[in-house]
Amino acid sequence: MHRISVNSSVIRSVGYDREIAILEIEFTNGAMYEYGGVPEEIYAELLAAESKGAYFDACIRDPRYSCRRLS
């Protein structure tokens, strides 16, 4: 999956696969996670958020999205 770098003190890069609604997030500590069932508008809002870390905490770190550590 292609990820793009973002300006954040917490998140290094993000990627999204529209076909399967998977969001990948690479954190600045090197950990990478995959979140399933994430709507495309959530991905777009994350990219547009002034604070990507705060948006992640409020809208993505949520039990409704499946989460799996990749690294």
pTM for this entry? 0.92
Positive or negative torsion for Cα 2, 39, 22, 51? positive
> CA-based Rg of the chain, rounded to a whole angstrom?
11
Domain ranges of the chain: 3-69
pLDDT in tens for each of the 71 residues of the chain? 899 999 999 999 999 999 999 999 999 999 999 999 999 999 999 999 999 999 999 999 978 899 999 97
Largest pairwise CA distance in the chain:
29
